[in-house]
Amino acid sequence: MAIDPATPDTGTGAIRTASGDSVVAAEPGGGAPAAGIGPYRLARRRLRRNKVALAFGALFAIIVILCFCAPLYADHIAHTGPNDNHVTEKVTVGGKEKDVVSVSGLPIGPTWQGRFLLGADQNGRDLAVRLLYGGRNSLEVGFIATFITMILATIVGLAAGYYRGVVDGVLARILDLIWAYPVVLLGIALGTSLALGGLSIGPIEVSGNSLFVPAVIIGVVYIPYVAKPIRGQVLGLREKEFVDAARVQGASSLRIMAREILPNVASTLIVFLPLMIANAILLEAALSYLGAGIQPPNPSWGTMISDGIRLIPSAIHLTFVPGAMLVLAVLGINVFGDGVRDALDPRARVKIKEKETDKVSDDPVEFAVEH
């Protein structure tokens, strides 16, 4: 009998299957059952053993912490803001005074000291400060967009898969319509129009240069990529015996979706979460680079790359620094997401070390059905 990896531990040391059976971890060779191990506990142990995924997850966490500490760096170390110009000023480097921006318009490179640590841009703005503030804006847009995508995609996928019929037909056609357009082209079209006119939803009005505008755009265009897999899972789960039992007991459709079906697609949502964050950050950078994302004077990694590319190769640091941060952030969350996916894979062969407080075999875990 197949084990549904998304169903939480029943609390009795058993793993609940999609058909409602209970499964317990058993010692190899037909011995007595070991202590109950829930699927998420197994996934956590798998993830702890994936040192590469944990290392890249820590890298992404460090980048997030640094970016959200941008005001502290700007106020106490760089002593300048992200939009403060210092075109006519000079800075002392190695005992010599240098122009922040030369007469020919070439900005100063990295000084490796408090002010202008990574150099300045063509407007005399501190690159390190703008890098952190730009990262904060890019991450905020990515997180908000992912939240919008996951919430709406879950609702649409559950409704379409459970109700089927007319509801599924209408929602599936809407998803197909969004799916038909390339993500970047649809993002450019929506971003350009909303950047000019802003966003107005009833009494809510958002200006065109708000961070919420690209977040909504990115959140909407990625809905089909999550909703369609969720819908497919729900179509199968709604025919399971435990759903039929809930119907016989008089549970409403909303209660069945929330209490019976949603926990069984939770692992899919968990796997999609880091991947959607990475895609949202990348799409925001692409849209900002093309002028359809975060609008000036708000910095972002995409706008910084766009501004600096005109000074290659004379001031390559203007493009290399934000590009490197973007690559590291996306790589970190992507590799960590792959580790989460592998940890939640029920077909993975996992070895669990024996502990005094939790005696489990050091051999691959076996499962036995408890009736």
Q: Is pLDDT above 60 for 28?
A: no
In a domain, 88, yes or no: no
Q: Give the pLDDT of residue 10.
A: 41
- State the CB neighbour count (10 A cutoff) for residue 351: 13
In a domain, 102, yes or no: no
Return the residue matching tokens 């993500």: 183
Q: Do 179 and 33 lie in a common domain?
A: no
Domain membership of residue 161 as a residue range:
129-301
In a domain, 370, yes or no: yes
In a domain, 4, yes or no: yes
Q: Do 186 and 259 lie in a common domain?
A: yes
Q: Give the pLDDT of residue 193.
A: 85
Q: Do 139 and 28 lie in a common domain?
A: no
Q: Do 288 and 365 lie in a common domain?
A: no
List, for residues 141-199, the tens digit of each pLDDT value. Answer: 999 999 999 999 999 999 999 999 999 999 999 999 999 999 999 999 988 888 877 77
Among 301, 333, 350, the domain boundary falls at 301
Q: With bands split at pLDDT 50, 70 and 90, how would you rate the model's confidence at 370?
A: very low
List, for residues 53-68, the tens digit of each pLDDT value. Answer: 999 999 999 999 999 9
Q: Is the dihedral of CA 262, 241, 237, 166 positive or negative?
A: negative
Question: How much of the chain exceeds pLDDT 70, in percent?
Answer: 83
Q: Do 156 and 294 lie in a common domain?
A: yes
Domain count, the chain: 2
Q: Do 251 and 367 lie in a common domain?
A: no
Q: Do 141 and 235 lie in a common domain?
A: yes
Asked whether 35 and 360 are in contact (CB, 8 A), the reply is yes
- CATH number for the domain including 297? 1.10.3720.10
In a domain, 251, yes or no: yes
Q: Give the closest residue to 79 by CA, choosing from 136, 117, 135, 121.
A: 117
In a domain, 103, yes or no: no
The model's pTM is 0.82
List, for residues 127-150, the tens digit of each pLDDT value. Answer: 999 999 999 999 999 999 999 999
Q: Give the pLDDT of residue 287.
A: 94
In a domain, 114, yes or no: no
The rounded distance, in Å, linking the Cα atoms of 323 and 45 is 34
Listed in order, strand segments (DSSP E) in 7-99 are 14-16, 22-26, 90-93, 96-99
Distances (CA, A) of 133 to 68, 282, 287, 303, 322: 8, 17, 17, 12, 11
In a domain, 48, yes or no: no
Among 282, 301, 320, the domain boundary falls at 301
Q: With bands split at pLDDT 50, 70 and 90, how would you rate the model's confidence at 346?
A: low
